[in-house]
Structure 1
Amino acid sequence: MPVNRRRFRIEQAFVGDMPMPAATDGEAGPMHREIMNELRSIRAQMAAPSHDAAKVAGIDPAAAQQIAESQALLETYRAQIEQCEKLKVELDLIYDAINRTKREIAVLHGKSFDGNEMSKVTGELGAVVGGTEEATQQILEAAEAIDQAASALAKVNSPDQQKILSEEISERVVSIFEACNFQDLTGQRISKVMATMKFIENHITVMMDIWGGVDAIRAHAPPIIDEREGDAKLLNGPKLDGDAGHASQNDIDALFD
């Protein structure tokens, strides 16, 4: 059953069920009526449908429409500002990545790719090639002289001639040992080149990390196309330990079995 609730005096006066209290003096009555009229106006505005709110509030419908459109436009501007702020963050990240990459390139250019450093690398590699050729030639000449001396030694019977040939063979052997010392110099020169290449590799790795790592760079790399033709396409050696795609000596021997 509904509960009969006692209505307060202000509610009875507000809905018109209770007469307005009389003024106690000449000013209180009109002021009280003005307050009550405002309260009724507020109640009417709260109870009125949304499409009539402008009329109840005494606002021109066209002005209310403009206000609504302005609010919608303001929300659009706010959304665009948020997107611009996000875009600025992304642009700042790209700007920072570009600056870091430029610094890495500057370091490479200053310490590895300038004329002096690359000339040293080229000079070291040229010295390796030249030293290897010279040592190889010296070893081959000594081996040929030993072979000739050994053949002559088998044909002479004179002790003096045998002694001379034996001494020549010994000298040629010493010459071979001396020529083999090229590998020590070659190792030192290659170590210098490898240090430079390692320096370059480290900075290139840093630059790849700046832009997302090796996998991100590999995704943009063009496919590798072998454009060699004829016999040049068949030259893939010498192979390194663990390289695949090369025929071993056993494979070659099996072809002749």
Structure 2
Amino acid sequence: MAVRKRFRIEEAIIGHMPEPDFVGGEIGPNHKEIMDELRAIRSQMAHAMRNGGGGGTANAAIEESAAREVAEARALLETYRAQIEQCEKLKVELDLIHDAINRTKGEIATLHAKSFNGEEMAKVNGELGAVVGGTEQATQQILEAAEAIDQAASALSKVDSADQQKILSEEIQERVVSIFEACNFQDLTGQRINKVMTTMKFIEHHIVVMMDIWGGVDAIKAHVPPIVDTREGDARLLNGPKAEGDVGHASQDDIDALFN
């Protein structure tokens, strides 16, 4: 901070005064010092007017100089007040940013502790792997049972012996029961998928909270880079099973039209 300008009225009336002390490593007047100077100037003016006698011209010059110094001091005081107001506004903004950063760190810490650590991700991967394995096993069992039923039904139509017909009928019934048993996989699969969905919803919730902290979805969209499909060849054409409302998939009618 620059050294405060010495008022001329102080030099004329009060004389030389010591320089202000260092405050926090910088030199500069504060509000109390300015007000003390203004009071001292007013007191000296009143004293000069009482004891001046015939020195009217000198007193007028002193008054004019003092008024000018007072105006300068008031302008300096207003400048300080404006700077303080700006600092207060800046502090409010910095506090908001600090709070947003702390809240975001808390959300990230929660995600890391309950979702993104190795143990939780291993559970999710294990559940999805079990879903795939269970589905494959049930499909294989159903296909084998269906094939056995088909063979038994064909043989049943060709035999005349009652005993042979009974054996084939019992085999068909066993295979039907096997199909029912294999269909139970959907219950276990549903439970496993629900566990994965719970974890995904937990992650989604905390991501949405972090987005709200920084202005919401609309504010985040402004920073999203454009999505570029870098796949090549057949991979560029494979988009998986079509869900309701999805675009970019060929319908069955489109496929049938290729063979017409």
Alpha-carbon shift at residue 72 of structure 1 (Å): 5.3
Q: 1:240 to 1:55 in 2, by over 3 A?
A: farther
Q: Which of 132, 135, 138 is the aligned partner of 1:132?
A: 135
Alpha-carbon shift at residue 64 of structure 1 (Å): 8.5
SS in 2 for 1:57: helix
Asked if residue 229 in structure 1 is aligned to residue 246 in structure 2, the reply is no
Question: Structure 1: 5+ residue runs without aligned partners?
Answer: 1-33, 45-53
Q: Which of 111, 118, 122 is the aligned partner of 1:108?
A: 111
Task: Give the equivalent residue in structure 2 for 1:144.
Answer: 147
Instruction: Write out aligned runs for 1:1-257 (5 A).
Output: 56-58=60-62, 75-257=78-260
Task: Give the equivalent residue in structure 2 for 1:29.
Answer: none
Q: In 1, distance between residues paired with 2:160 and 2:230?
A: 64
Q: In 2, distance between residues paired with 1:227 and 1:83?
A: 50
Alpha-carbon shift at residue 56 of structure 1 (Å): 4.0
Alpha-carbon shift at residue 108 of structure 1 (Å): 1.4
Alpha-carbon shift at residue 85 of structure 1 (Å): 2.1
- Measured against aligned partners, the alpha-carbon deviations of 1:96-124 in whole angstroms (never above 9, x if no partner) come to 00101111111112222223222221111
| Greater mean alpha carbon deviation, residues 111-120 or residues 142-151 | 111-120
Question: What count of residue pairs does the alignment treat as equivalent?
Answer: 210
Alpha-carbon shift at residue 229 of structure 1 (Å): 0.7
- AA partner of residue 123 (structure 1): G
- AA partner of residue 57 (structure 1): A
Alpha-carbon shift at residue 254 of structure 1 (Å): 3.6
- Measured against aligned partners, the alpha-carbon deviations of 1:68-98 in whole angstroms (never above 9, x if no partner) come to 7766565544433332222221111010001
Structure with the greater alpha carbon radius of gyration:
1
Q: In 2, distance between residues paired with 1:234 and 1:217?
A: 30
Question: Structure 2: 5+ residue runs without aligned partners?
Answer: 1-48
- AA partner of residue 212 (structure 1): G
Alpha-carbon shift at residue 185 of structure 1 (Å): 0.7
Alpha-carbon shift at residue 175 of structure 1 (Å): 0.4
Q: In 1, distance between residues paired with 2:129 and 2:63?
A: 92
Alpha-carbon shift at residue 57 of structure 1 (Å): 3.0
- The TM-score with structure 2 as length reference comes to 0.71
State the identity as a percent: 79
SS in 1 for 2:211: helix
SS in 2 for 1:225: coil
Alpha-carbon shift at residue 151 of structure 1 (Å): 1.9
Alpha-carbon shift at residue 161 of structure 1 (Å): 1.6
